[in-house]
């Protein structure tokens, strides 16, 4: 409907996840009216990200070098690996400043509907990292949903027989939440995982 370049941009924007035709149009007109330097910066950021960003050869996290920031850091504890689905989970956990070990990014979760099986995840790479005996604990931090649980169950079956300490992040009530509004499964998990308070 639009002339050449405008329609091309709307089409390209519309291919992005979560951007429908209306949003694509709105973004395109925003960019048409924007400072050319701003648009240039966005275009450059796109080119740069493909040219410079790779995946860490050890943990699979996004990285600008062969090893990611965490794997490069000698202060990180080498005996604990936290297994997550995606690089964004690494960022979420780093934000807590609770974890001083290393990560392993699977690149997804087992999901038969989307045809993602264990062989599509970076599980053999994880096994490779466990071979030399440095790692003593594996924390399974996949998402607390059906796919994440299935992935953790699958991994636990592989890892527990190897004599490793295998842990799963606690499920329960979100801090700052309201008990009344918790769903039954979460509330059930909160009961199941209740802790004794010492006097």
Angle between helices 21-33 and 4-14 (to 10 degrees): 130
Residue 29 or 99: the one with the smaller Cβ distance to a second copy is 29
Q: Using the rule CB under 8 A, is 95 a contact of a second copy?
A: yes
Measured from the CB atom, the residue of 11 and 153 that comes closer to a second copy is 11
Task: Measure the CA angle with vertex 87, ends 130 and 188; round to 5°.
Answer: 85
| Interface residue with a second copy, options 58, 59, 60, 63 (CB under 8 A) | 63
**Residue 133 exposed, middle or buried by CB count within 10 Å (0-12, 13-18, 19+):** exposed
Question: Measured from the CB atom, is 26 or 168 closer to a second copy?
Answer: 26
17 contributes a contact to a second copy by CB under 8 A: yes
CA neighbor of 80 nearest in space, from 193, 147, 172, 159 = 159
SS3 72: helix
* Strand partners of residue 83: 104, 140
Q: At which residue do the structure tokens 């990180």 appear?
A: 76
Question: Where in 32-51 is the site for a second copy (CB under 8 A)?
Answer: 32, 36, 38-51
CA–CA distance, 126 with 106 (Å, rounded to integer): 8
Asked if residue 102 lies in contact with residue 80, where contact means CB atoms within 8 angstroms, the answer is: yes
5 binds a second copy (CB under 8 A): yes
Candidate ranges 30-38, 125-133, 157-165, 190-198; the one touching a second copy (CB under 8 A): 30-38
Q: Is residue 98 within the footprint of a second copy (CB under 8 A)?
A: no
Length of the chain: 199
Q: How far is the CB of 108 from a second copy (least distance, A)?
A: 10
Q: Interacting stretch for a second copy, rule CB under 8 A, among 16-24, 112-120, 124-132, 168-176?
A: 16-24
Residues that bind a second copy (CB under 8 A): 1-6, 8-9, 11-13, 15-19, 23, 25-32, 36, 38-53, 62-64, 68-69, 86-88, 91, 94-95
């Amino acid at each position: 409907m639009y002339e050449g370049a405008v329609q091309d941009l709307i089409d390209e924007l519309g291919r992005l996840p979560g951007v429908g035709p209306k949003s694509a149009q709105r973004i395109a007109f925003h960019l048409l009216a924007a400072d050319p330097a701003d648009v240039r910066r966005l275009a450059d950021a796109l080119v740069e990200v493909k040219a410079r960003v790779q995946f860490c050869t050890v943990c699979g996290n996004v990285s600008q070098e062969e090893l990611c920031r965490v794997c490069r850091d000698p202060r990180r504890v080498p005996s604990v690996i936290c297994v997550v689905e995606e690089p964004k989970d690494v960022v979420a956990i780093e934000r807590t400043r609770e974890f001083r070990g290393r990560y392993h990014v699977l690149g997804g979760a087992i999901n038969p509907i989307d045809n993602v099986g264990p062989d599509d995840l970076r599980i053999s790479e994880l096994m490779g990292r466990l071979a030399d005996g440095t790692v003593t604990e594996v924390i399974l931090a996949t998402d607390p949903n059906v796919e994440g649980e299935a992935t953790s169950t699958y991994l636990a079956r592989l890892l527990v027989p190897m004599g490793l300490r295998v842990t799963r992040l606690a499920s329960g009530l979100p801090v700052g939440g309201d008990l009344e509004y918790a769903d039954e499964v979460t509330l059930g998990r909160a009961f199941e995982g209740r802790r004794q308070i010492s006097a």
